[in-house]
Chains A and B, each alone.
Chain A
Amino acid sequence: MLRVQGLTSQFRGRAGVVRAIDDVSFEVPAGEAVGIVGETGSGKSVTIRSILGLLPSYGRVVAGSAEFEGEDLIKLSRTRLREIRGARIGFVAQNPFGALNPVLSIEKQFRNVMRAHRRMSRAELHDLAIERLTAVQVRGPERVLRGYAHELSGGMAQRVVIALAMLHDPPLVIADEPTTALDVTVQRQILDLIDSQVKQGGRSLLLVTHDLGVVAQYCHRVVVMKSGRVVETGLVADVFTNPTHEYTKQLLDAVPPAPWAQEAPGLTEQAVTSR
């Protein structure tokens, strides 16, 4: 589905040119979920921004390729890339309020996203938007469509962003820390939602996160990054149970076990299942 090879990007800064990611390679097979995991400065966000052509003005891709549906995204013109983004690749950002335009109604934003790639009458689009919002479990979709981003809670806003990202039924969805800005009890709802949306459409998912738990529970494959380089990739089941690279080991060791799995594992299920 997506094949990234030797991707290298640089940033120009006060201290000169800095290599933000170096020789990054990985694949996202069709129908699979791949997690890119790393700590601050590991280059995980830069990687997807390089793929999507969303680097800031002082950054640029200097080498490598990102092959998607027979085209190299890195070499594409801006216009062609824009056609692919949104229509063939859906993007879910970390902060839903940054992704939504504060001065446009939600319906208008559906219209804009639709119009970027396809023509559709207002009435048809309205019905489609309602359908999609319902699919992502937005309560009161009519009211939400008329309203604005600031009226939504964080979780609702992220649901709207997901609905927008899925509007053109893209075969690949890229999500950049989609739950980091949300409350703990809402995070799981959103992850489950992304998971079901991706599975239902038989899509592929590229998920960037710092949370190893998210990768362990929601991804098939994992790409572990550190200081701009890939240190380990493979099936989650292999890498997480048998990490070969020292850094992956350290990372896994540093995460405290889930609270319900600490110390007395026998007791943990009881409280929940007894209800």
Chain B
Amino acid sequence: MSIMELRDVNHVFRRGGKEVHAVNGVSLSVAKGETVAVIGESGSGKSTLGRIALGLITPTSGSVVFDGIELTALSRKQMRPLRSRLQVVFQEPYESLNPRLKVGDIIAEPLIIHRPELSRAERREKVVAMLERVGLTAEHADRLPRNLSGGQQQRIGIARAIITEPELVILDEPTSSLDVSVRARVLDLLRDLQRERGISYVFISHDLATVGLISDRVAVMYLGTVVEQGPTQEVLTNPRHPYTQALMSATLSTVVGQKREHVPLRGEIPNPSKKPTKCVLSGRCPIEVDACSSWQVRLAQVADRHEVACMRVEQEQKQPVELGGGR
């Protein structure tokens, strides 16, 4: 049973008179209690996708269904009561906290909005319990966000997101601005909370190593398009799309001498100003052939629940013997 279902979502916005095709035909489903990671670099459309899932942006086309409710059909006003069930944690912990509000007030805010029947004392009690749950103390409630460390700030962001007991939380790079030692502990907290409360996560990240630790399934995005998706273990151990392989090989191991052959991509990510009419990786791909430039991107199954959007992989699937000989 899926809690969120995105179907053929497209989003185009205008920036400085130019069109930006941020999301192109993305379909994604999140099951209850599951963590789906959305991987991509800047400009991949992963954050836009997160905002679409949150109902903060209405996509140009496509459908976003949260627990049976079509979000794209709702007005902002109709959306509001749903927000207690659908929450978000942002990348920049400090910037996502109002610098003028005390920590206690920040965490209490969702309760004030969604549980107005609670008395001040009841609210306070819940806030303190939540602070303690995320590894802080009651004493932190009276502090301002700027007097806390990055890790503590992100714990507050998490506390605010889960105090209304949401069913789905979009985690938009929740750990990428944190130091490594802090990062591991915040990830632990997120995992514990998921186990306790059965929350579903959409974990948006550019870091495959982190994703490997927390997600059940992963979708790799490039230029607004999902190029590979599947169970995390399967994708990480057997990445098929050249972009996924490049992304993986770009992560450096801390084990001296443990090197992975670098799958280099030429150049850099182009501007997503046009709707892709050929393979999105065309022009950067190490295994590109002429036919790629007239190939329409589509996902094809390569293994159980493992899908890849690459013409060469697709052909290989169809005629494994012939291509196998050519390698």
Q: Judge: A and B partners, yes or no.
A: yes
Please give the residue numbers on chain A whose beta carbons come within 8 Å of chain B beta carbons, in ascending order. Answer: 39-40, 139, 153-156, 183-189, 192, 210-214, 216-217, 236-237, 240-241, 250-252, 254-264, 267-275
What is the CA–CA distance of A7 and B211 in the complex, to the nearest angstrom? 40
Contact of B237 among A192, A216, A252, A267 (CB under 8 A): A267
A216 near B254 (CB under 8 angstroms)?
yes
B284 to chain A: closest CB distance in Å?
Answer: 8
Cross-chain pairs A/B with CB under 8 angstroms, 23 sampled: A39-B180, A40-B179, A153-B268, A154-B268, A185-B41, A185-B246, A185-B265, A188-B264, A192-B262, A212-B180, A212-B254, A217-B253, A217-B259, A240-B256, A251-B180, A255-B180, A256-B213, A258-B209, A258-B253, A260-B260, A262-B209, A272-B245, A272-B261
Given known A216-B253, A252-B254, A268-B260, contact A260–B236 (CB-CB < 8 A)? yes
A111 to chain B: closest CB distance in Å?
Answer: 27
A181 to chain B: closest CB distance in Å?
Answer: 10
Q: Interface residues of B, CB < 8 Å — how many?
A: 49
Given known A217-B259, A254-B181, contact A275–B247 (CB-CB < 8 A)? no
Contact of A273 among B209, B257, B261 (CB under 8 A): B261
Contact of B206 among A184, A211, A237, A269 (CB under 8 A): A184
What is the CA–CA distance of A260 and B208 in the complex, to the nearest angstrom? 9
Q: Please name all residues of chain B whose beta carbon is closer than 8 Å to the beta carbon of A252 when the two chains form the complex.
A: 254
Given known A40-B150, A155-B268, A184-B206, contact A260–B248 (CB-CB < 8 A)? yes
A257 near B264 (CB under 8 angstroms)?
no
Report the nearest A residue to B185, measured CB to CB: A254
Residues in B269-320 with C-beta less than 8 Å from chain A: 269, 286-287
B268 near A272 (CB under 8 angstroms)?
no
Contact of B251 among A192, A260, A272 (CB under 8 A): A260
A258 near B233 (CB under 8 angstroms)?
no
Q: Please name all residues of chain A whose beta carbon is closer than 8 Å to the beta carbon of B257 when the two chains form the complex.
A: 237
Q: Please name all residues of chain B whose beta carbon is closer than 8 Å to the beta carbon of A214 when the two chains form the complex.
A: 252
What is the CA–CA distance of A258 and B248 in the complex, to the nearest angstrom? 8
A216 near B252 (CB under 8 angstroms)?
yes
Cβ-based interface call for B184 (8 A): yes
Residue in B42, B246, B254, B268 with the greatest tally of chain A CB atoms within 10 Å: B254
Contact of B252 among A250, A258, A272 (CB under 8 A): A258
Contact of B233 among A241, A261, A263, A270 (CB under 8 A): A263
Report the nearest B residue to A261, measured CB to CB: B253
Report the nearest B residue to A219, measured CB to CB: B256
New contact pairs (14) apart from A185-B268, A212-B254, CB-CB < 8 Å: A183-B206, A189-B264, A210-B179, A213-B254, A216-B254, A241-B256, A251-B180, A256-B184, A258-B253, A263-B236, A263-B237, A267-B237, A272-B249, A273-B261
Cβ-based interface call for B32 (8 A): no
Report the nearest B residue to A154, measured CB to CB: B268
Q: Please name all residues of chain A whose beta carbon is closer than 8 Å to the beta carbon of B265 when the two chains form the complex.
A: 185
Q: Please name all residues of chain B whose beta carbon is closer than 8 Å to the beta carbon of A39 when the two chains form the complex.
A: 179-181
A236 near B256 (CB under 8 angstroms)?
yes
Interface string of B190-233 (1 = CB under 8 A from A): 00000000000000001111111100000000000000000001
What is the CA–CA distance of A211 and B207 in the complex, to the nearest angstrom? 13
Cβ-based interface call for B93 (8 A): no
A272 near B260 (CB under 8 angstroms)?
yes
B261 near A258 (CB under 8 angstroms)?
no
Q: Please name all residues of chain A whose beta carbon is closer than 8 Å to the beta carbon of B261 when the two chains form the complex.
A: 269, 272-273
Report the nearest A residue to B324, measured CB to CB: A274
3 tightest A-B contacts by CB?
A: A213-B252, A259-B208, A39-B179
A274 near B253 (CB under 8 angstroms)?
no
Q: Please name all residues of chain B whose beta carbon is closer than 8 Å to the beta carbon of A236 when the two chains form the complex.
A: 256
